[in-house]
């Protein structure tokens, strides 16, 4: 499979929604097309209108209830994606869309290995992970609070926050990004995130992206442990087996 560029990934999302319609929404875990447009767009660094337009352009090629762009010729770049991937079934095209969104995301790869598939909670994982983080990266370029800062992705470093923002004339800022499907909802902080927020205080920012189901927006909590945000401890227990083996030859 050829590497897909940014535009090709957006067209692929439109193709999936056009071909599989509401079955495609259910397969990915979305409750509406608006939610799908918002979430997929955030994950792909696009606008919701772009994903919708690609779906509408490809609608006439599939037996759904929409007319789409029936009176307009398909554009060459959409024609290429249709020809190359239009024959794939729900699981095949869904897996390709997942790969185009997740890349080498360890979280989503781990979910796939759980055995009952990745699709059931895909929308939620996308909203709380890649989509929210991509939304933040776009907003960080224009929000006055982050003006002049250089941004480094620390999501895989296990340091208790997702992004480190640095500027020559100021201490670094730590930003933890969370996503919520509705306009309000619950978020969770890990012990490590809570400790980092408690230690860094005014340099720790909780950036919450809300409203994927309608219109995404964000809320910032500076120094969240010592703010008006009420964080209540949750008791979580986990029992896991470990597997031991002896390796190497006998001297």
Q: Spell out the domain ranges in the chain.
A: 6-128, 135-226
* pLDDT given for residue 108 in this prediction: 47
| Mean pLDDT value across the chain | 88
Helices and strands counted in the chain (H then E): 9, 5
- Provide the β-strand partners of residue 210: 217
pTM: 0.84
Half-sphere exposure of 45 (CA within 13 A, CB side): 10
Instruction: Give the C-alpha separation, 213 to 226, whole Å.
Output: 30
* pLDDT given for residue 245 in this prediction: 58
Two tokens, residue 210: 């809300």
Which fold does the domain 135-226 belong to in CATH?
A: Trna Endonuclease; Chain: A, domain 1 (3.40.1350)
How many angstroms separate the Cα of 248 from the Cα of each of 213, 242, 251? 54, 20, 9
pLDDT band at 213 (very low <50, low <70, confident <90, very high): very high
How wide is the angle at C-alpha 20 spanned by C-alphas 57 and 89, nearest 5°?
Answer: 110
Q: How many CB atoms lie within 10 A of CB 196?
A: 19
CB distance 14 to 51 below 8 Å: yes
What is the helix (H) or strand (E) element at residue 208, kind and residue range?
strand 204-210
CB distance 159 to 196 below 8 Å: yes
Strands 163-167 and 204-210 come out as unpaired
* Model confidence pLDDT, tens digit, residues 136-162: 999 999 999 999 999 999 998 989 999
Instruction: Give the C-alpha separation, 149 to 167, whole Å.
Output: 5
Is the pLDDT at 203 greater than 80, yes or no?
yes
Instruction: Give the C-alpha separation, 165 to 147, whole Å.
Output: 10
pLDDT band at 249 (very low <50, low <70, confident <90, very high): low
Instruction: Identify the residue whose tokens are 């499907």.
Output: 181
């Amino acid at each position: 499979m050829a590497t897909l560029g940014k535009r090709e990934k957006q067209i692929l999302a439109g193709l999936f929604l056009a071909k599989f319609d509401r079955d495609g929404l259910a397969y990915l875990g979305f409750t509406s097309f608006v939610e799908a447009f918002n979430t997929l767009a955030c994950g792909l660094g696009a606008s919701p209108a772009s994903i919708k337009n690609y779906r509408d352009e490809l609608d006439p090629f599939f037996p759904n209830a929409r007319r789409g762009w029936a009176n307009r010729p398909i554009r060459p770049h959409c024609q290429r994606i249709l020809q190359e991937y239009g024959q794939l079934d729900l699981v095949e095209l869904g897996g390709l869309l997942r790969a185009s969104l997740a890349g080498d995301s360890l979280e989503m790869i781990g979910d796939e290995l759980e055995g009952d598939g990745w699709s059931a909670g895909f929308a939620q994982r996308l909203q709380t992970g890649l989509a929210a983080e991509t939304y933040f990266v776009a907003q960080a370029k224009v929000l006055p609070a982050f003006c002049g800062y250089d941004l480094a992705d620390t999501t895989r470093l296990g340091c208790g926050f997702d992004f480190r923002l640095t500027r020559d004339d100021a201490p670094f800022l730590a930003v933890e990004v969370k996503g919520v499907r509705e306009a309000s909802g619950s978020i969770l902080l890990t012990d490590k995130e809570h400790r980092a927020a408690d230690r860094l205080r005014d340099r720790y920012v909780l950036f919450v992206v809300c409203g994927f189901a309608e219109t995404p927006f964000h809320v910032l909590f500076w120094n969240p442990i010592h703010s008006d945000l009420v964080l209540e401890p949750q008791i979580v227990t986990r029992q896991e087996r470990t597997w031991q083996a002896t390796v190497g030859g006998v001297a």
